[in-house]
Amino acid sequence: MIEIRSITKKFGDLIAVNDLSLTIKQGETLGLVGESGSGKSTLARLILKLIEPDSGQIDCQGIDNIRRECQIVFQDPQNSLNPRIRVGEAIAEPIVIHRLLNRSAINGRVAALLEMVKLPAGYAKRFPHELSGGERQRVGIARALAGEAKFLILDEPVSALDVFIQVEILKLLKELKTRLGLTYLFIAHDLSVIGYLSDRIAVMKGGRLIELGDKKTVLTTPREEYTLKLLAASPRF
């Protein structure tokens, strides 16, 4: 679905993403692991075409409108929602911007999206501060889906949440993926939650992709020393 070919992005002297090639297959969840500064967020911004690469290409097959069909769910739902805009309006915004529905049909669609992320329809009238962290993350997901997205980048979507809520959100993401036939790129800085959703796992370090393999292999018998180090460092339960 997404084919990244030898992409490089520099910021001044810093090579944030260095000659990286990677394919994200239709319908899979690709886990992307790396420490801060490894270039994973830059890669996410490149895929979404929020920034342009210095060289290399990214092809998105089956995507007509990248701004609508490729979406991102951020780590901190507190910061990604406008505190002065009601939840319903925040979710409706992509529908309005992309002129997907008539005014009259929007409320019904917002209610359906809320139902999809298991929030009561009445939440449309609430402000973000009236919601818990987990509920706000559900709103973030509903808004990402509002424009009928096919591909979601999940950028540390549960790292700011408590364990119980983490599990709920991960379960919801898994369910939505099956129900809507979505493709995910799931970014995390440690390996402890990435196994739950991912089919394959990619490891980035210093702007390069250093390891890529199916979940089980990467989590049990990785090829790279660095991946072993990451595994050893992740305090696991």
Partner 1 sequence: MLEVKNLSVNYYVDEGTVKAVAGVSFDLKEGEILGVLGESGSGKSTLGYALLRLVDQPGKIVGGEILLNGRDLLLLPEDELRRLRGAKIAMVFQDPFAALNPVLTIGEQIMESIILHQRATRREARGKAVEALRAVKIDPARIDDYPHQFSGGMRQRVVIAMALACRPEILIADEPTTALDVTIQAEILALLREIKAQFNLSIIYITHNFGIIKELCDRVVVMHKGKIVEAGETRTIFDHPRDAYTKKLVDCLRELR
Q: Give me the residues that bind partner 1 (CB under 8 A), please.
A: 35-36, 162-164, 166-167, 170, 189-193, 195-196, 229-230, 232-237
Considering the complex, state which of residue 127 and residue 196 has its C-beta at the smaller distance from partner 1: 196
Considering the complex, state which of residue 68 and residue 138 has its C-beta at the smaller distance from partner 1: 138
Considering the complex, state which of residue 180 and residue 232 has its C-beta at the smaller distance from partner 1: 232
Buried b (16+ CB within 10 A) or exposed e, 33-69: bbeeebbbbbbbbbbbeeeebeebebebeeeeeeebb
CB of 63 to partner 1, least distance (A): 31
Residue entry with tokens 């995507």: 63
CB of 53 to partner 1, least distance (A): 26
CB of 117 to partner 1, least distance (A): 20
Residue entry with tokens 């990435």: 194
**Residue 213: DSSP 8-state:** E
Considering the complex, state which of residue 130 and residue 162 has its C-beta at the smaller distance from partner 1: 162
CB of 32 to partner 1, least distance (A): 15
